[in-house]
Amino acid sequence: MELLEERIRRDGKVKPGNVLKVDSFLNHQMDVELFGEMGKEFRRLFPSKEINKILTIEASGIGIACITAQYFQVPVVFAKKSQSINLDGEQYVTKIESFTHKRVYDVIVAKKFLGKDDHVLIIDDFLANGCAAAGLIDLVKSAGAVVEGVGIAVEKGFQEGGRLLRSKGVRVESLAIVESMNADTGEIIFREQA
């Protein structure tokens, strides 16, 4: 998606450790107009009328998922990273290793919000090693629901996540795929997409 690539080129910062910082429009301050264009593009890429729910993970996925959901007219469920007194009833739980925080989280969804009749689109901001997406897929499968696909804003194509998920037959669509990036020069190269 040209608009997103341009914005990453303009405002993204390449940090050591393969981290792309996009906190001025995606991860801290959020450009809602840009999110709207991203939501429209996800709708175009996932036209299935069966999708009846969007699943994401707190915190950074929530904004994108909510704006995207307006184009699907479905609810958003976000997986929680910690137990809270507001989480009652039975839960699906899985473990996800965080790429940015380098720790393992229990990730939780209440059973009442995910069930066998659901056809789920998973949305997240980044795809790196694929742990977050794999964990969310695991939650959907535990619920007996169907994964219709995974929609990602920024995939780091030089890490394993995209290849792993696609090799398992998961439909992954990323709006921008970073082929390579250099923390010393700040250069970011994107993969050509149809």
Applying CB under 6 A, the residues found at the interface with ligand 5GP are 19-22, 27, 60, 99-100, 124-133, 156, 161
- CB distance 171 to 149 below 8 Å: yes
Residue 50 beta carbon to ligand 5GP: minimum distance, rounded to whole angstroms? 25
- Choice between 35 and 52, CB closer to ligand 5GP: 35
At a CB cut-off of 8 Å and minimum separation 6, what does 56 contact? 62, 64, 65, 76, 77, 78, 79, 122, 123, 124, 136
Q: Name which of 4 and 52 has its Cβ closer to ligand 5GP.
A: 4
CB of 30 to ligand 5GP, least distance (A): 13
CA 156 to chain CA mean position, Å? 12
Is 140 in contact with 113 (CB distance < 8 Å)?
Answer: no
Cβ closest to ligand 5GP, residue 52 vs residue 153: 153
Q: Is 11 helix (H, G, I), strand (E, B) or coil?
A: helix
Which of 52/107 has CB closer to ligand 5GP? Answer: 107
Cβ closest to ligand 5GP, residue 60 vs residue 174 = 60
H or E segment at 6?
Answer: helix 2-11
Secondary structure (3-state) at 4: helix
Q: Whole-number minimum distance, CB 147 to ligand 5GP, in Å? A: 16
Nearest approach, Cβ of 5 to ligand 5GP (angstroms)? 15
Minimum distance, C-beta of residue 6 to ligand 5GP, in the bound complex (Å): 18
In b/e form, how buried is each residue of 72-90, taking b as 16+ CB within 10 angstroms?
A: bebebbbbbbeeeeeeeee
